[in-house]
Structure 1
Amino acid sequence: MLYQPTLQALRQLNLTAMAEALEEQALLPQAQDLPFEERLGLLLDRELSARDQRRLTRLLKLAHLKHHACVEDIDYRASRGLERARMRSLIQNTWIRQGQNLLITGATGTGKTWLACALGQQACRQGLSVRYLRLPRLFEELQTRHGDGSFGRYLNTLAKVELLILDDWGLAPMRGADVRDLLEIIDDRVNQKATLITSQLPVNHWHDYLGEPTVADAVLDRLLQSAHRLELKGESLRRHRDPDTTPKVDPS
């Protein structure tokens, strides 16, 4: 097949990265000396790499992560209570694929939200869908959805997300309707999809926070039965921020 028709065919097949790589090869005399199989392999590698990057960009856009955080920048200072071996296990994302949960607790400023976003970004890098939501904003959204009749569709959307991050659990009071809506969300995900929760409240205070005893029992039974727990310790990292440096952890 001639060069120009080949480029046109690649673009018609939406193999744009492969077409660009072929054009680059045509400008490199040394590429002409490579065996056909090696040149083809280089073209395919370029296309696969471009598709992976597009998928990551799309997943990160849909995730709405609060922080641009990555697991390579996790702060493992001993005072924080993070164990490298345990984090290596979580970073592999087996817990997400098995529909398990992760509960991150600790005082304000210890980096809960940042760590959650770093794990969310890592999940996106491995091709998993993620959605970050602050719990107070989620309840506002659910009230609106009840009013316009789209509540069921929204629940179905959340149920399909492979990692749902619920930030600021316990930050604001919950109404009875909020607790019941939360049960619907959690029930759709139990043993199927993973949920990550960050909270200043210790887990043993969550039952009182949820308020309605029967519904609280149901929510916590579903959340805790297959949950990993991380408790971040130490003083607020904001107090130790060096104004002349960029901290690895954006504490929140």
Structure 2
Amino acid sequence: MLNEETVRKLIEMRMSAMAESYSEQMTNTGYQDMAFEDRFNLLVDHEYSRRKSNTLQRLIKQAHFSEPLAAIEDIEYHPDRHLDKNLILELATGNYIQKNLNIVLMGASGNGKTWLSNAFGVQACRQHYKVKYVRLPEMMDEFIVAKNEADGSFRKLIN
């Protein structure tokens, strides 16, 4: 009864990962030999990991990527693509964001510019930045509409 009440309280406090881990510890006898601190650390680690994962998934979903599974680690550096691996790895650190710089991708149709932009965006999400993926034509349309509004929406869009 006490365990069920504890699980209910954890869920009510929105600590569902900790509740799951606690229930697992109560049913699996392998945890009984562990010290309290070790078991508690496992509970906290599970909750922390779940929250970080949920935050990342939320940021990626809100960005509206066309390729949400794109990742810097999956870039293929074929010679015909003329990609500078060192530059890409430097950009992956996110220093350009802190310096308020932009990345402009140029190349022929079908070279993977969209995929690369999504990979950089996902990498920024991993660093806990809010990202919005938008293609240039749609962004220009948004600017034109916002510029014609008198409610300050243009300044909000720029920010």
For Structure 1 versus Structure 2, the TM-score category normalised by the shorter chain is: 0.7 to 0.9
Matched residue, 1:39: 39
2: CA distance between counterparts of 1:158 and 1:126?
22
The question of whether the paired residues in 1 share the 8 Å contact of 2:59 and 2:125 is answered with yes
**In structure 1, the residue corresponding to 2:4 is in which secondary structure?**
helix
**In structure 2, the residue corresponding to 1:43 is in which secondary structure?**
helix
- The answer on 1:137 being equivalent to 2:138 is yes
Query: Superposed, which structure 2 residues align to 1:18-167 within 5 Å?
Result: 18-68=18-68, 69-146=70-147, 149-150=150-151, 152-153=152-153, 155-159=155-159
Query: Is there any run of 5+ residues in structure 1 with no aligned partner, and where?
Result: 160-252
Offset of residue 146 of structure 1: 4.5
1: CA distance between counterparts of 2:40 and 2:157?
40
Query: Superposed, which structure 2 residues align to 1:150-189 within 5 Å?
Result: 150=151, 152-153=152-153, 155-159=155-159
**In structure 2, the residue corresponding to 1:106 is in which secondary structure?**
coil
Offset of residue 143 of structure 1: 3.4
Offset of residue 148 of structure 1: 5.4
Change (3 A) 1:114 1:39: same
Offset of residue 48 of structure 1: 0.8
Aligned CA-pair RMSD: 1.9
Offset of residue 147 of structure 1: 5.2
Change (3 A) 1:157 1:54: farther
1: CA distance between counterparts of 2:16 and 2:127?
23
Change (3 A) 1:155 1:59: farther
Query: Superposed, which structure 2 residues align to 1:208-227 within 5 Å?
Result: none
TM-score by length of 2: 0.88
2: CA distance between counterparts of 1:126 and 1:158?
22
TM-score by length of 1: 0.57
Moved more, 101-110 or 28-37: 101-110
**In structure 2, the residue corresponding to 1:102 is in which secondary structure?**
coil
1: CA distance between counterparts of 2:128 and 2:60?
10
Structure with higher strand content: 1
Structure with higher helix content: 2
1: CA distance between counterparts of 2:105 and 2:147?
30
Output one character per residue of 1:158-198: Cα deviation in whole Å (capped at 9) or x when no partner.
Answer: 52xxxxxxxxxxxxxxxxxxxxxxxxxxxxxxxxxxxxxxx
2: CA distance between counterparts of 1:32 and 1:155?
58
Paired residues, what number? Answer: 157
Offset of residue 50 of structure 1: 0.9
Structure with the larger RCO, 1 or 2 (CA within 8 Å, 6+ apart)? 1
1: CA distance between counterparts of 2:144 and 2:101?
27
Query: Is there any run of 5+ residues in structure 2 with no aligned partner, and where?
Result: none
2: CA distance between counterparts of 1:62 and 1:25?
35
